[in-house]
Structure 1
Amino acid sequence: MCGRFVVANVASELVGVLRVDVEGEVLPPPSYNIAPTARAAIVLDSAKTEPATRRLESARWGLVPGWAKDPSIGSRAFNARAEELEDKPMFRNALIKRRAVVPASGYYEWKQVDGGKVPHYIHPADDQPMFFAGLYEWWKDPAKADDDPDRWLLSFTILTRDSVGHLGSIHDRMPLFIDGDFADAWLDTDTDDHNVRDLLDAAIDAAPALADTLDDHVVSSAVGNVRNDSPDLIAPAA
Protein backbone atom coordinates (compact mmCIF):
# COMPACT_ATOMS: atom_id res chain seq x y z
CA MET A 1 0.00 0.00 0.00
CA CYS A 2 0.96 3.64 -0.17
CA GLY A 3 -0.34 5.70 2.74
CA ARG A 4 2.04 8.68 2.71
CA PHE A 5 4.02 10.31 -0.06
CA VAL A 6 6.24 13.30 -0.74
CA VAL A 7 6.14 16.11 -3.27
CA ALA A 8 9.31 18.01 -2.43
CA ASN A 9 9.06 20.51 -5.30
CA VAL A 10 6.35 22.65 -6.79
CA ALA A 11 4.20 20.15 -8.67
CA SER A 12 4.71 21.89 -12.00
CA GLU A 13 8.45 21.15 -11.72
CA LEU A 14 7.75 17.40 -11.58
CA VAL A 15 5.74 17.00 -14.76
CA GLY A 16 7.92 18.40 -17.56
CA VAL A 17 8.08 15.08 -19.40
CA LEU A 18 4.29 14.76 -19.25
CA ARG A 19 3.75 17.88 -21.40
CA VAL A 20 0.95 19.48 -19.38
CA ASP A 21 -1.18 21.96 -21.34
CA VAL A 22 -3.01 23.67 -18.47
CA GLU A 23 -2.14 24.11 -14.79
CA GLY A 24 -4.84 24.61 -12.19
CA GLU A 25 -5.09 28.05 -10.64
CA VAL A 26 -4.52 26.80 -7.08
CA LEU A 27 -2.08 23.90 -6.75
CA PRO A 28 -0.94 22.38 -3.43
CA PRO A 29 2.43 23.55 -2.07
CA PRO A 30 5.31 21.10 -1.63
CA SER A 31 4.76 18.65 1.22
CA TYR A 32 6.89 15.98 2.88
CA ASN A 33 3.98 14.17 4.50
CA ILE A 34 0.93 13.90 2.24
CA ALA A 35 -1.70 11.71 3.91
CA PRO A 36 -5.13 10.46 2.76
CA THR A 37 -7.79 13.21 2.47
CA ALA A 38 -5.03 15.80 1.88
CA ARG A 39 -4.66 17.51 -1.47
CA ALA A 40 -2.04 16.70 -4.08
CA ALA A 41 -1.54 17.53 -7.75
CA ILE A 42 -2.53 14.97 -10.37
CA VAL A 43 -2.28 14.87 -14.16
CA LEU A 44 -5.28 13.93 -16.28
CA ASP A 45 -6.42 14.26 -19.89
CA SER A 46 -9.74 16.05 -20.28
CA ALA A 47 -11.80 14.61 -23.12
CA LYS A 48 -14.02 17.71 -23.24
CA THR A 49 -11.72 19.18 -25.88
CA GLU A 50 -10.43 17.79 -29.18
CA PRO A 51 -7.64 16.89 -28.92
CA ALA A 52 -7.79 16.11 -25.19
CA THR A 53 -6.30 18.76 -22.89
CA ARG A 54 -3.67 17.55 -20.43
CA ARG A 55 -4.25 19.19 -17.06
CA LEU A 56 -2.38 19.46 -13.77
CA GLU A 57 -5.00 19.84 -11.06
CA SER A 58 -5.35 19.82 -7.30
CA ALA A 59 -7.28 16.78 -6.05
CA ARG A 60 -8.20 15.19 -2.75
CA TRP A 61 -6.47 11.89 -2.00
CA GLY A 62 -9.12 9.21 -1.57
CA LEU A 63 -11.49 8.38 -4.42
CA VAL A 64 -15.07 9.64 -4.07
CA PRO A 65 -17.27 8.13 -6.83
CA GLY A 66 -20.07 10.16 -8.31
CA TRP A 67 -22.74 8.00 -6.64
CA ALA A 68 -21.37 8.54 -3.10
CA LYS A 69 -23.65 10.19 -0.55
CA ASP A 70 -20.78 12.19 0.93
CA PRO A 71 -16.96 12.46 0.60
CA SER A 72 -16.20 10.37 3.69
CA ILE A 73 -16.05 7.20 1.58
CA GLY A 74 -12.80 8.50 0.09
CA SER A 75 -10.88 7.99 3.33
CA ARG A 76 -11.09 4.23 2.67
CA ALA A 77 -10.20 4.43 -1.03
CA PHE A 78 -6.78 6.08 -1.13
CA ASN A 79 -5.30 2.89 -2.66
CA ALA A 80 -6.80 0.42 -5.14
CA ARG A 81 -5.45 -3.03 -5.94
CA ALA A 82 -4.67 -3.01 -9.65
CA GLU A 83 -5.54 -6.68 -10.11
CA GLU A 84 -9.04 -6.16 -8.64
CA LEU A 85 -10.17 -2.95 -10.35
CA GLU A 86 -12.54 -4.55 -12.84
CA ASP A 87 -14.36 -6.37 -10.03
CA LYS A 88 -14.91 -3.32 -7.83
CA PRO A 89 -17.81 -0.94 -8.56
CA MET A 90 -15.88 1.77 -6.73
CA PHE A 91 -13.14 1.75 -9.38
CA ARG A 92 -14.47 0.01 -12.52
CA ASN A 93 -15.77 3.03 -14.39
CA ALA A 94 -12.81 5.21 -13.46
CA LEU A 95 -10.45 2.59 -14.88
CA ILE A 96 -12.21 2.80 -18.23
CA LYS A 97 -12.73 6.56 -18.44
CA ARG A 98 -10.77 8.47 -15.79
CA ARG A 99 -7.14 7.45 -15.41
CA ALA A 100 -4.61 9.78 -13.80
CA VAL A 101 -0.90 10.08 -13.10
CA VAL A 102 0.25 11.12 -9.63
CA PRO A 103 3.70 12.78 -9.63
CA ALA A 104 5.83 12.41 -6.50
CA SER A 105 9.35 12.72 -5.16
CA GLY A 106 9.04 9.54 -3.10
CA TYR A 107 6.84 7.73 -0.62
CA TYR A 108 6.95 6.13 2.82
CA GLU A 109 6.36 2.54 3.77
CA TRP A 110 6.46 0.88 7.19
CA LYS A 111 8.35 -2.40 7.65
CA GLN A 112 7.12 -4.80 10.29
CA VAL A 113 9.94 -5.79 12.67
CA ASP A 114 10.11 -7.28 16.13
CA GLY A 115 8.71 -4.69 18.47
CA GLY A 116 6.85 -2.58 15.92
CA LYS A 117 7.10 -0.92 12.51
CA VAL A 118 9.98 1.07 11.02
CA PRO A 119 9.31 3.77 8.39
CA HIS A 120 11.33 3.77 5.17
CA TYR A 121 11.55 6.52 2.58
CA ILE A 122 11.52 5.07 -0.95
CA HIS A 123 12.57 7.28 -3.86
CA PRO A 124 14.32 7.30 -7.26
CA ALA A 125 18.08 6.81 -6.95
CA ASP A 126 18.68 9.77 -9.26
CA ASP A 127 16.24 12.03 -7.40
CA GLN A 128 14.14 12.46 -10.55
CA PRO A 129 10.33 12.55 -10.22
CA MET A 130 8.43 9.29 -9.96
CA PHE A 131 4.93 8.64 -11.26
CA PHE A 132 2.14 6.51 -9.78
CA ALA A 133 -0.73 5.18 -11.88
CA GLY A 134 -3.99 6.47 -10.48
CA LEU A 135 -7.70 6.95 -11.10
CA TYR A 136 -9.79 10.06 -10.56
CA GLU A 137 -13.45 10.95 -10.09
CA TRP A 138 -15.62 14.06 -9.89
CA TRP A 139 -18.24 14.24 -7.11
CA LYS A 140 -21.01 16.87 -7.00
CA ASP A 141 -22.00 18.17 -3.57
CA PRO A 142 -25.80 18.39 -3.61
CA ALA A 143 -25.76 20.77 -0.65
CA LYS A 144 -24.00 23.50 -2.64
CA ALA A 145 -25.43 25.86 -5.23
CA ASP A 146 -24.82 25.27 -8.93
CA ASP A 147 -22.64 28.39 -9.14
CA ASP A 148 -20.56 27.53 -6.06
CA PRO A 149 -16.96 26.86 -7.24
CA ASP A 150 -16.60 24.27 -4.45
CA ARG A 151 -19.58 22.21 -5.58
CA TRP A 152 -17.38 19.79 -7.58
CA LEU A 153 -14.78 17.70 -5.76
CA LEU A 154 -11.92 16.14 -7.73
CA SER A 155 -10.46 13.09 -5.98
CA PHE A 156 -8.02 10.30 -6.78
CA THR A 157 -6.64 6.95 -5.72
CA ILE A 158 -3.17 5.42 -6.19
CA LEU A 159 -3.04 1.93 -7.70
CA THR A 160 -0.93 -0.79 -6.07
CA ARG A 161 0.40 -4.24 -6.98
CA ASP A 162 2.44 -6.98 -5.30
CA SER A 163 5.87 -5.78 -4.23
CA VAL A 164 8.98 -7.20 -5.87
CA GLY A 165 12.72 -7.18 -5.24
CA HIS A 166 14.07 -5.25 -2.28
CA LEU A 167 10.74 -3.44 -1.86
CA GLY A 168 9.15 -6.79 -1.09
CA SER A 169 11.27 -7.00 2.05
CA ILE A 170 9.67 -3.78 3.30
CA HIS A 171 6.01 -4.34 2.47
CA ASP A 172 3.96 -6.80 0.44
CA ARG A 173 2.38 -4.05 -1.70
CA MET A 174 3.88 -1.18 -3.69
CA PRO A 175 2.47 1.63 -5.85
CA LEU A 176 1.95 0.87 -9.52
CA PHE A 177 4.91 2.81 -10.92
CA ILE A 178 4.84 4.04 -14.51
CA ASP A 179 7.37 6.06 -16.50
CA GLY A 180 6.93 9.21 -18.55
CA ASP A 181 6.71 7.32 -21.83
CA PHE A 182 3.94 5.01 -20.64
CA ALA A 183 2.04 7.93 -19.10
CA ASP A 184 0.77 8.99 -22.53
CA ALA A 185 -0.87 5.60 -23.06
CA TRP A 186 -2.22 5.51 -19.49
CA LEU A 187 -3.87 8.93 -19.83
CA ASP A 188 -5.20 8.42 -23.37
CA THR A 189 -8.93 9.06 -23.35
CA ASP A 190 -9.39 7.27 -26.69
CA THR A 191 -8.52 3.85 -25.24
CA ASP A 192 -11.64 1.75 -25.68
CA ASP A 193 -13.15 -0.55 -23.08
CA HIS A 194 -11.69 -3.69 -24.66
CA ASN A 195 -8.11 -2.41 -24.54
CA VAL A 196 -8.13 -1.13 -20.96
CA ARG A 197 -7.32 -4.60 -19.58
CA ASP A 198 -4.27 -4.85 -21.84
CA LEU A 199 -3.19 -1.36 -20.77
CA LEU A 200 -3.48 -2.27 -17.09
CA ASP A 201 -1.61 -5.55 -17.58
CA ALA A 202 1.19 -3.69 -19.36
CA ALA A 203 1.51 -1.29 -16.43
CA ILE A 204 1.57 -4.14 -13.90
CA ASP A 205 4.21 -6.01 -15.91
CA ALA A 206 6.47 -2.95 -16.35
CA ALA A 207 6.40 -1.83 -12.71
CA PRO A 208 9.07 -4.26 -11.37
CA ALA A 209 11.77 -2.80 -13.64
CA LEU A 210 10.99 0.66 -12.31
CA ALA A 211 10.99 -0.62 -8.73
CA ASP A 212 14.55 -1.87 -9.23
CA THR A 213 15.72 1.72 -9.82
CA LEU A 214 14.53 2.92 -6.40
CA ASP A 215 16.54 3.47 -3.22
CA ASP A 216 15.27 3.39 0.34
CA HIS A 217 16.46 4.26 3.83
CA VAL A 218 15.03 4.28 7.33
CA VAL A 219 13.63 7.61 8.49
CA SER A 220 12.42 9.06 11.78
CA SER A 221 9.17 7.88 13.31
CA ALA A 222 8.12 11.54 13.24
CA VAL A 223 6.60 10.88 9.82
CA GLY A 224 3.86 8.95 11.57
CA ASN A 225 2.35 12.23 12.79
CA VAL A 226 0.52 13.97 9.94
CA ARG A 227 1.15 17.34 11.58
CA ASN A 228 4.88 16.98 10.91
CA ASP A 229 5.88 18.31 7.50
CA SER A 230 9.48 19.29 6.83
CA PRO A 231 12.50 18.12 4.79
CA ASP A 232 13.82 16.47 7.97
CA LEU A 233 11.27 13.70 7.48
CA ILE A 234 13.09 12.25 4.45
CA ALA A 235 16.56 12.42 6.03
CA PRO A 236 18.13 9.10 7.07
CA ALA A 237 17.39 8.28 10.71
CA ALA A 238 20.24 8.95 13.10
Structure 2
Amino acid sequence: MCGRYATTRDSGALSQLFEAYDDTDGRLRPDWNVAPTKPVPVVRVDDKGTRALSLARWGLLPPWATSPSAGARMINARAETVATSRAYATPFARRRCLVPADGWYEWTRTDGGKQPYYLTRTDGDVLALAGIWSVWRGPDGPWLTCSVLTTSAVGALADVHDRMPVLLPPQRWGRWLAPTADPTALLGADEDWLAGLEIRPVGPAVGNVRNDGPELTARVPGVPLPRRRPSTVETADEMTLF
Protein backbone atom coordinates (compact mmCIF):
# COMPACT_ATOMS: atom_id res chain seq x y z
CA MET A 1 0.00 0.00 0.00
CA CYS A 2 1.22 3.46 -0.83
CA GLY A 3 -1.52 5.92 0.08
CA ARG A 4 0.46 8.95 1.21
CA TYR A 5 3.84 10.30 0.24
CA ALA A 6 5.94 13.46 0.04
CA THR A 7 7.38 15.11 -3.06
CA THR A 8 8.93 18.50 -2.45
CA ARG A 9 11.62 19.09 -5.09
CA ASP A 10 10.88 21.85 -7.57
CA SER A 11 10.52 21.30 -11.30
CA GLY A 12 14.01 22.57 -12.04
CA ALA A 13 15.63 20.10 -9.66
CA LEU A 14 13.52 17.20 -10.92
CA SER A 15 14.15 18.06 -14.57
CA GLN A 16 17.87 17.99 -13.91
CA LEU A 17 17.80 14.80 -11.83
CA PHE A 18 15.82 12.87 -14.42
CA GLU A 19 17.25 14.58 -17.52
CA ALA A 20 13.77 15.62 -18.65
CA TYR A 21 12.32 18.81 -20.03
CA ASP A 22 9.84 20.67 -17.80
CA ASP A 23 6.25 20.25 -18.97
CA THR A 24 4.62 21.40 -15.72
CA ASP A 25 3.93 25.02 -16.78
CA GLY A 26 5.01 26.29 -13.36
CA ARG A 27 2.19 24.42 -11.60
CA LEU A 28 4.31 22.07 -9.49
CA ARG A 29 4.23 22.81 -5.76
CA PRO A 30 6.01 21.06 -2.87
CA ASP A 31 3.70 18.67 -1.03
CA TRP A 32 4.62 16.84 2.18
CA ASN A 33 1.25 15.06 2.31
CA VAL A 34 0.27 13.84 -1.15
CA ALA A 35 -3.09 12.06 -1.13
CA PRO A 36 -5.12 10.31 -3.84
CA THR A 37 -6.40 12.48 -6.73
CA LYS A 38 -3.82 15.23 -6.11
CA PRO A 39 -1.62 16.42 -9.01
CA VAL A 40 1.83 14.84 -8.78
CA PRO A 41 5.03 15.03 -10.84
CA VAL A 42 5.81 12.11 -13.15
CA VAL A 43 8.65 11.47 -15.57
CA ARG A 44 7.51 9.86 -18.81
CA VAL A 45 8.35 9.62 -22.49
CA ASP A 46 6.13 11.89 -24.58
CA ASP A 47 4.68 11.30 -28.06
CA LYS A 48 7.93 12.50 -29.66
CA GLY A 49 10.06 10.04 -27.70
CA THR A 50 11.48 12.72 -25.39
CA ARG A 51 11.68 12.40 -21.61
CA ALA A 52 9.27 14.88 -19.96
CA LEU A 53 8.48 16.00 -16.42
CA SER A 54 4.68 16.28 -16.34
CA LEU A 55 1.89 16.67 -13.82
CA ALA A 56 -0.60 13.81 -13.49
CA ARG A 57 -3.60 13.21 -11.30
CA TRP A 58 -2.80 10.40 -8.83
CA GLY A 59 -5.31 7.65 -9.51
CA LEU A 60 -5.30 6.15 -12.98
CA LEU A 61 -8.48 6.50 -14.99
CA PRO A 62 -8.95 3.93 -17.76
CA PRO A 63 -10.58 5.22 -20.96
CA TRP A 64 -13.94 3.67 -20.08
CA ALA A 65 -14.21 5.34 -16.65
CA THR A 66 -17.40 7.36 -16.44
CA SER A 67 -16.37 9.57 -13.53
CA PRO A 68 -13.07 10.95 -12.20
CA SER A 69 -14.04 9.69 -8.75
CA ALA A 70 -12.98 6.20 -9.87
CA GLY A 71 -9.35 7.30 -9.74
CA ALA A 72 -9.34 7.46 -5.93
CA ARG A 73 -9.57 3.65 -5.90
CA MET A 74 -6.82 3.19 -8.49
CA ILE A 75 -3.80 4.88 -6.95
CA ASN A 76 -1.90 1.58 -6.72
CA ALA A 77 -1.43 -1.30 -9.16
CA ARG A 78 -0.20 -4.65 -7.86
CA ALA A 79 3.02 -5.73 -9.56
CA GLU A 80 1.84 -9.35 -9.45
CA THR A 81 -1.22 -8.68 -11.65
CA VAL A 82 -0.50 -5.41 -13.47
CA ALA A 83 0.40 -7.18 -16.73
CA THR A 84 -2.97 -8.95 -16.92
CA SER A 85 -5.31 -6.38 -15.39
CA ARG A 86 -7.87 -4.93 -17.81
CA ALA A 87 -7.28 -1.43 -16.46
CA TYR A 88 -3.51 -1.55 -16.11
CA ALA A 89 -2.12 -3.95 -18.74
CA THR A 90 -1.90 -1.47 -21.63
CA PRO A 91 -0.30 1.33 -19.61
CA PHE A 92 2.14 -1.20 -18.14
CA ALA A 93 3.14 -2.35 -21.60
CA ARG A 94 3.29 1.08 -23.28
CA ARG A 95 3.07 4.00 -20.83
CA ARG A 96 5.39 3.58 -17.87
CA CYS A 97 6.61 6.48 -15.77
CA LEU A 98 8.73 7.35 -12.75
CA VAL A 99 6.99 9.00 -9.81
CA PRO A 100 9.54 11.12 -7.89
CA ALA A 101 9.17 11.10 -4.11
CA ASP A 102 11.13 12.11 -1.04
CA GLY A 103 9.53 9.28 0.95
CA TRP A 104 6.23 7.61 1.72
CA TYR A 105 4.11 7.00 4.83
CA GLU A 106 2.74 3.83 6.35
CA TRP A 107 0.82 3.12 9.55
CA THR A 108 1.11 0.23 11.99
CA ARG A 109 -1.23 -0.73 14.77
CA THR A 110 0.09 -0.38 18.31
CA ASP A 111 -1.38 -0.78 21.75
CA GLY A 112 -1.93 2.96 21.79
CA GLY A 113 -3.57 3.19 18.36
CA LYS A 114 -1.90 3.73 14.99
CA GLN A 115 1.66 4.90 14.56
CA PRO A 116 2.73 6.54 11.27
CA TYR A 117 6.21 6.01 9.85
CA TYR A 118 8.00 7.90 7.10
CA LEU A 119 10.18 5.78 4.83
CA THR A 120 12.92 7.70 3.06
CA ARG A 121 16.53 7.58 1.95
CA THR A 122 19.07 8.21 4.70
CA ASP A 123 21.21 10.15 2.22
CA GLY A 124 18.31 12.36 1.08
CA ASP A 125 18.41 11.07 -2.50
CA VAL A 126 15.22 11.07 -4.53
CA LEU A 127 13.06 7.96 -4.69
CA ALA A 128 11.70 6.91 -8.07
CA LEU A 129 8.49 4.92 -7.66
CA ALA A 130 7.57 2.72 -10.61
CA GLY A 131 4.42 4.11 -12.17
CA ILE A 132 2.11 3.84 -15.16
CA TRP A 133 0.12 6.59 -16.81
CA SER A 134 -2.90 7.02 -19.02
CA VAL A 135 -4.93 9.81 -20.57
CA TRP A 136 -8.60 10.08 -19.62
CA ARG A 137 -10.79 12.27 -21.81
CA GLY A 138 -13.41 13.97 -19.69
CA PRO A 139 -15.98 16.63 -20.54
CA ASP A 140 -13.46 19.39 -19.81
CA GLY A 141 -10.65 17.88 -21.87
CA PRO A 142 -7.89 15.27 -21.47
CA TRP A 143 -6.44 14.43 -18.05
CA LEU A 144 -3.08 12.78 -17.48
CA THR A 145 -3.50 10.21 -14.68
CA CYS A 146 -1.17 7.72 -13.01
CA SER A 147 -0.83 4.81 -10.58
CA VAL A 148 2.08 3.59 -8.46
CA LEU A 149 3.07 -0.08 -8.63
CA THR A 150 3.30 -1.94 -5.33
CA THR A 151 4.85 -5.25 -4.37
CA SER A 152 5.43 -7.44 -1.31
CA ALA A 153 7.53 -5.64 1.28
CA VAL A 154 10.98 -7.03 2.00
CA GLY A 155 13.35 -6.94 4.96
CA ALA A 156 12.62 -4.46 7.73
CA LEU A 157 9.99 -2.75 5.56
CA ALA A 158 7.75 -5.78 6.02
CA ASP A 159 7.55 -4.96 9.74
CA VAL A 160 5.84 -1.69 8.84
CA HIS A 161 3.46 -2.96 6.16
CA ASP A 162 3.07 -6.04 3.98
CA ARG A 163 3.19 -3.93 0.79
CA MET A 164 5.63 -1.33 -0.51
CA PRO A 165 5.96 0.72 -3.69
CA VAL A 166 8.19 -0.70 -6.39
CA LEU A 167 11.36 1.38 -5.99
CA LEU A 168 13.60 1.78 -9.01
CA PRO A 169 17.29 2.58 -8.44
CA PRO A 170 18.85 5.04 -10.91
CA GLN A 171 20.36 2.31 -13.08
CA ARG A 172 16.84 1.08 -13.90
CA TRP A 173 15.25 4.42 -14.77
CA GLY A 174 16.13 4.41 -18.44
CA ARG A 175 15.08 0.82 -19.01
CA TRP A 176 11.78 1.35 -17.19
CA LEU A 177 10.91 4.26 -19.48
CA ALA A 178 12.13 2.56 -22.66
CA PRO A 179 9.09 1.49 -24.77
CA THR A 180 10.79 -1.71 -25.92
CA ALA A 181 11.99 -2.88 -22.49
CA ASP A 182 10.53 -5.90 -20.69
CA PRO A 183 9.11 -4.19 -17.58
CA THR A 184 8.52 -7.44 -15.68
CA ALA A 185 12.29 -7.95 -15.51
CA LEU A 186 12.67 -4.66 -13.58
CA LEU A 187 10.21 -5.29 -10.76
CA GLY A 188 12.51 -7.22 -8.44
CA ALA A 189 13.88 -5.50 -5.34
CA ASP A 190 17.45 -4.19 -5.34
CA GLU A 191 18.47 -5.26 -1.83
CA ASP A 192 21.63 -3.12 -1.73
CA TRP A 193 19.71 0.01 -2.69
CA LEU A 194 16.90 -0.72 -0.23
CA ALA A 195 19.47 -0.94 2.56
CA GLY A 196 19.78 2.84 2.29
CA LEU A 197 16.21 3.40 3.50
CA GLU A 198 15.30 4.80 6.90
CA ILE A 199 12.13 3.92 8.84
CA ARG A 200 11.31 7.09 10.75
CA PRO A 201 8.48 7.42 13.30
CA VAL A 202 6.53 10.65 12.77
CA GLY A 203 3.60 12.39 14.41
CA PRO A 204 -0.12 11.77 13.82
CA ALA A 205 -0.71 15.06 11.99
CA VAL A 206 0.10 13.43 8.65
CA GLY A 207 -3.12 11.45 8.98
CA ASN A 208 -5.13 14.53 7.98
CA VAL A 209 -4.64 15.57 4.35
CA ARG A 210 -5.31 19.20 5.26
CA ASN A 211 -1.98 19.26 7.07
CA ASP A 212 1.12 20.01 5.02
CA GLY A 213 4.69 21.08 5.68
CA PRO A 214 8.13 19.69 6.50
CA GLU A 215 7.19 19.16 10.13
CA LEU A 216 5.14 16.14 9.04
CA THR A 217 8.37 14.27 8.27
CA ALA A 218 10.12 15.19 11.54
CA ARG A 219 11.24 12.28 13.71
CA VAL A 220 9.25 11.71 16.89
CA PRO A 221 11.73 10.77 19.63
CA GLY A 222 11.18 7.79 21.87
CA VAL A 223 8.99 5.82 19.44
CA PRO A 224 10.38 2.31 18.77
CA LEU A 225 10.60 0.81 15.35
CA PRO A 226 7.99 -1.83 14.56
CA ARG A 227 9.07 -5.32 15.63
CA ARG A 228 6.45 -7.49 14.01
CA ARG A 229 4.48 -7.65 10.83
CA PRO A 230 1.01 -6.09 11.02
CA SER A 231 -1.75 -8.64 11.36
CA THR A 232 -4.05 -6.76 9.02
CA VAL A 233 -3.52 -4.65 5.93
CA GLU A 234 -3.89 -0.97 6.73
CA THR A 235 -5.90 1.00 4.22
CA ALA A 236 -7.42 4.43 3.90
CA ASP A 237 -9.25 4.11 7.23
CA GLU A 238 -5.97 5.17 8.87
CA MET A 239 -6.20 8.58 7.27
CA THR A 240 -8.54 11.44 6.54
CA LEU A 241 -8.26 11.58 2.76
CA PHE A 242 -10.61 14.46 2.07
TM-score by length of 2: 0.87
Equivalents in 1 of 2:114, 2:15: separation in Å?
Answer: 33
* Partner SS, residue 158 of structure 1: strand
Q: Which moved more, 1:206-215 or 1:119-128?
A: 206-215
Shift in CA distance, 66/12, structure 1 to aligned 2, threshold 3 Å: farther
Q: Which moved more, 1:69-78 or 1:107-116?
A: 107-116
Matching residue of 1:234: 217
Q: Aligned pair 1:17/2:20, yes or no?
A: no
* Partner SS, residue 160 of structure 1: strand
The amino acid that maps onto 1:155 is T
Measured against aligned partners, the alpha-carbon deviations of 1:153-185 in whole angstroms (never above 9, x if no partner) come to: 011001011001111110000010002221111
Equivalents in 2 of 1:11, 1:179: separation in Å?
Answer: 20
Matching residue of 1:205: 188
CA drift at 1:70: 1.7
> Structure 2 matches for 1:72-111, cutoff 5 A?
72-111=69-108
2:169 aligned to which of 167, 179, 193 = 179
CA drift at 1:131: 0.5
Contact 1:7 1:31 in 2 (8 A): yes
Contact 1:62 1:79 in 2 (8 A): yes
Equivalents in 1 of 2:19, 2:150: separation in Å?
Answer: 25
Q: Which moved more, 1:179-188 or 1:11-20?
A: 11-20
Matching residue of 1:165: 155
CA drift at 1:128: 1.0
Measured against aligned partners, the alpha-carbon deviations of 1:63-94 in whole angstroms (never above 9, x if no partner) come to: 01112112111100101111111221010110
Matching residue of 2:57: 60
Residue ranges of structure 2 left out of the alignment (5+ in a row): 222-242
Equivalents in 2 of 1:10, 1:90: separation in Å?
Answer: 31
The amino acid that maps onto 2:144 is L
* Partner SS, residue 182 of structure 1: helix
Matching residue of 2:229: none
Matching residue of 1:44: 44
Q: Aligned pair 1:5/2:2, yes or no?
A: no
Matching residue of 1:147: none
Contact 2:15 2:21 in 1 (8 A): no
Q: Which moved more, 1:12-21 or 1:171-180?
A: 12-21
CA RMSD of aligned residues (A): 1.5
Q: Aligned pair 1:130/2:127, yes or no?
A: yes
2:146 aligned to which of 156, 171, 180 = 156
* Partner SS, residue 29 of structure 1: coil
Contact 2:4 2:104 in 1 (8 A): yes
Residue ranges of structure 1 left out of the alignment (5+ in a row): 145-150
1:121 aligned to which of 118, 122, 133 = 118
The amino acid that maps onto 2:118 is Y
Contact 1:15 1:103 in 2 (8 A): no
Identity of aligned residues (%): 36
* Partner SS, residue 41 of structure 1: strand
* Partner SS, residue 26 of structure 1: coil
Equivalents in 1 of 2:150, 2:77: separation in Å?
Answer: 6
CA drift at 1:15: 4.6
